[in-house]
Structures are given as structure tokens and as C-alpha cells.
Amino acid sequence: MGDRGKLVTRWQTSLRKGTDFDSWGQVVEAVEEYQMLERQLNKEMNAKPPVFSESQKKTLQQIMACLNLRAETLQSPSATDELSLEELKKLDKALQDLLSSSPSEFPVDLPAGALRTRSPKMNLDIDIEGEEDEEDEEEDAMPQLQSKSQNIKPTGTLLPRIAHEPGTTGLSIHLEKIGLKDSTSYLDPFITVSVKDMAGVDVMKSQDTPVATKREDQYVIYKSNVELQKPLEKLPKGTAVFFEFKHYKAKKRTISCKCFAFMEMDEIKHGPLVIELYRKPTDFKRKKLSLLTSKPLYLHLNLILYEN
């Protein structure tokens, strides 16, 4: 099987995964799968040297428009233009036709203007692994690193170390840096640290780091200390510490979570620790995890265990 055949097979698998979520009523998961597949198609359509012919690229554009329209239908049921699940399933044949020397007519009748009204961000150079350039609106604001949102405290909300019961073990987490391909594109980036049990319920109050103002290569630098407010012995079985990378979106005037990482109890050992980054939304129950990227970019920590 050639490169195009492998791509088409992967896309068909992704489409079926999305339509399965869709048919089960898992709207969030379906939309994420459709959007991820759209990004993958866009990346290959703009590949250099080109992988597909001009006529095949036209089919890819139509498929992308269908994916975008179905995602919008799920997110806004009252939308004027809609695309049904059954219509979307017909894209499997359209994908297969990319490999055919005599493809059939495109199986879905798109609403007028659907190809012209797709989200402009889909024309960006987007990482196929899921690092979407959703921060494009912040480019003009990035040179100004002071806080633009009254909901963000530039100094953070970190709590001091407290004395625990004698004979117990305390944990201090030194947040060093987080690796992101587009590290310079985030306005007022900070990390929310929370401790959750297996059901995703808070074990203690969450804390925010100060806003980061330093960037080095592909890293946002923090150098912040987070003190757990309970000793390790008092944490419920299955507890995990979560780290959510958040930033301010100027045009939407809202705080957004880009990605998250978590550390489970068996990972807590004195010394440095590097943990993987996962795509949003944050899954505090750790049931459905999807890596943000396959690139070697992680959250870098240094754990300090101390006896009380």
C-alpha cells in the first residue's frame, strides 16, 4: 500500500470513530474527532511536494466542508445549514474514491457557500498531531505580556508550605517549564494545579502559578513552587495531581485551557520528572486521553519530598 493508501485508510478509521461517537450521542468526542480529521486532510492537501492531484484536492475540500458542517450541526442544532450523520457516513466512499482512477460523483449535496464559509483557521499550517493554532487572534497582542484579563492574577494564587502531622511526608512541586511548539503565541500563560481523586473530585484547593513572562526556544518558563496542602499519606487511593496550561484569548475575552498533564501517586519520587501533555478538555477521571503531540515536548517538574 502506497503513502496515499495509508493516509486514506487512517482517515477512514478516524471518520468511523467519529461517526460512532456521533451515533452514541457523545457530541464532544465526535466534534473533536471530526475537527482532528479536518486538520489532517488540510495538512496533506497543502503538503509540498503535493501528495494529491488538483481534482483530488477538490474532493478533500468537499470532505473538509462536510466535517466542519457536521461539527457545527452538533454544536448548534438550530444552525441554518445542517448535515446529518447518515450523510456524513457517505464520506467513507468519497475517501475511498481518492484512490480510484474513475471516482464517482461526490455523495453529499453541500449547501450553497459551504466551501467558502469554512473556518479560516483550517488554512493554517497545523500540526497533524493535534496542536491546533487556535490562538491566531492573539498574535497582535503577544508583545504585551501584562495581564489583559481581570480574572487572571499575574502573581498567581500559590499557597505557602504548611506544617503537616509529624511522621508524614510533604510534597513540594517545582514547575520548571512546559514545551509547546508555539510557545510564544500565548498571552498571560499560567498553570492551574489541582489534586483530584479517582472520581475527579477536588482533594484540596487548586492553585495558579504566576503568569509566565519568559520564553526560551519552545518552552514557557515558570520556575514556580507548588506546595501540596496535605501530606501524601492523607491522599485518597488513586489521587492524581493535574496541571492545566491556560492562557487569555484576547478577542473572546476568556481564559482557555490549551492542554493538561497529570502525575499519579506512583510517579511521585524525589527528583526531576517529565510528564506528557494531553489534548483538552481536561479529563479528571483519566478515562479518555489523547496526546497533544508526538513531538518531544513535555511538562518538566522537580519533586521535593520532605518529612514532617
Distance CA 87, CA 107 (A): 8
Dihedral (C-alpha) 157, 243, 178, 288: value to the nearest 10 degrees? -160
User: pLDDT tens for residues 65-112?
Assistant: 899 888 888 876 555 567 889 999 999 999 998 888 787 888 988 765
The angle that helices 54-75 and 27-45 make with each other, rounded to 10 degrees, is 160
pLDDT value of position 151:
62
**Region 3-123: CATH code:** 1.20.120.360
On average, the pLDDT of the chain sits at 83
Q: Say what percent of the chain tops pLDDT 90.
A: 45
pLDDT value of position 144:
37
Q: How confident is the model at residue 55 (pLDDT cuts 50, 70, 90)?
A: confident
Prediction pTM value? 0.55
Distance CA 148, CA 35 (A): 29
Distance CA 153, CA 157 (A): 7
- Per-domain residue ranges of the chain: 3-123, 136-307
What is the average per-residue pLDDT within 238-257? 90
Cβ atoms of residues 39 and 128 within 8 Å:
yes
Phi, psi of 271 (to 5 degrees): 125, -175
User: pLDDT tens for residues 197-230?
Assistant: 999 999 999 999 999 989 988 999 999 999 999 9
- Residue 27 gets the label, from left (phi > 0), alpha (psi -120 to 50) or beta, of alpha
Q: What angle do CA 184, 190, 285 make, to 5 degrees?
A: 115
Q: Does domain 136-307 have CATH number 2.60.40.150?
A: yes
Higher-pLDDT residue of 277, 1: 277
